[in-house]
A and B are shown apart, each in its own frame.
Chain A
């Protein structure tokens, strides 16, 4: 149960980061608070959107789904069921791979690091580190 709580909490943090980046991308927020990072460069690059949809939106949707599954898995009737653990493992693994791709773009193509993206990558990595072993264990 503690693990699912941690995943839900992390997913909420990730959701907020992705929402912030998405709000910037669609013009609701005028400027990113990025310190000395290159958030705007990364966000306004051609890699800031995938299939015409801002990358940040995939994050918003992904974290929202992970959060929902974790919360559902915390309900007393679902605590002993397998599907939440399996679902979280699959979702977080996919999220981690996507994060890996985006970080690779930042490091090797754009040569610019967006701090918020790094924050999201760390959150997704920790979620995957918690969810994947549990998913394998309950299989």
Chain B
């Protein structure tokens, strides 16, 4: 009888160790990046200029430096951006370029990687939209959101095998880092930070869609007298 209980304990211990090792192997790679492990930035990483929404011939381009876990970025994306998109981007007046600028939130870099891995499959904007919409759920939790991101990737129609391979290999860690360095070089200190046709905006003045509308009007000549 004692041997039987010993066997039960052995099974429980082995299973516990396997689960522990499995969970470390599954999420350890990505959190290494989150913890600031050295990232190699290649010339291809630096050459990537961000995901773009809108017409290539739009007269005004906004570059947004954002962190997908940053609450202000989330608020902007959920409240103001839909109007900007509908009234300015979809009408060909404005082109929007998204650049990752991961801050020091726990999942800043992980979320940036998730966005890039969805972007690899042409789903960046859908993924970004979903991540911001659900930010209050995953962003305020101390729990690793890898699973939540995977669910979102699946929800936007990404091929999960490719997405998982991308996340596991941290394929775009260098790209995210390059984007961050670029932002630092341009004087970005917080998010969201906007550049309109190369000029940095005062975030306090351009936190709403009307302000962007006025800005676009002035830059395209509609507001000139």
Contacts and interface: CB of A to CB of B under 8 A. Distances in A.
Contacts of B164: 31, 40
Interface residues of B, number: 28
A13 interface: yes
Contact of A31 (B143, B145, B146, B154): B146
Given A5-B4, A30-B26, A41-B160, A23 B11 contact: no
A103 to B, nearest CB: 21
Nearest to B138: A27
A138 B11 CA distance: 30
A76 B146 CA distance: 48
B19 A29 contact: yes
A31 B53 CA distance: 32
Nearest to A33: B22
Given A16-B11, A16-B15, A40-B150, A30 B160 contact: no
B84 to A, nearest CB: 32
B42 to A, nearest CB: 26
B147 interface: yes
A120 to B, nearest CB: 13
Contacts of A40: 150, 160, 164
A44 interface: yes
> How would you classify the secondary structure of chain B's contact residues: helix, strand, loop or mixed?
helix
B12 A16 contact: yes
Interface in A79-101: none
B150 A44 contact: yes
A30 B168 CA distance: 11
Contact of A28 (B8, B25, B30, B143): B143
Contact of B27 (A25, A30, A44): A30
A12 B151 contact: no
Given A27-B143, A44-B150, A13 B26 contact: no
B11 A24 contact: no
Contacts of B144: 27, 30
A58 interface: no
29 contacts: A5-B4, A12-B15, A16-B12, A16-B15, A19-B19, A20-B15, A20-B19, A24-B147, A27-B143, A27-B144, A27-B147, A27-B148, A28-B143, A29-B22, A29-B23, A30-B23, A30-B27, A30-B144, A30-B147, A31-B146, A31-B147, A31-B150, A31-B164, A32-B26, A33-B22, A40-B150, A40-B160, A41-B154, A44-B150
Given A27-B148, A40-B160, A41-B160, 16 more contacts: A9-B7, A9-B8, A12-B11, A12-B12, A16-B12, A23-B19, A25-B147, A27-B144, A27-B145, A28-B23, A29-B22, A29-B147, A31-B164, A33-B22, A33-B25, A41-B154
Q: 9 tightest A-B contacts by CB?
A: A30-B27, A31-B26, A16-B15, A30-B146, A29-B23, A30-B26, A27-B143, A27-B147, A33-B22
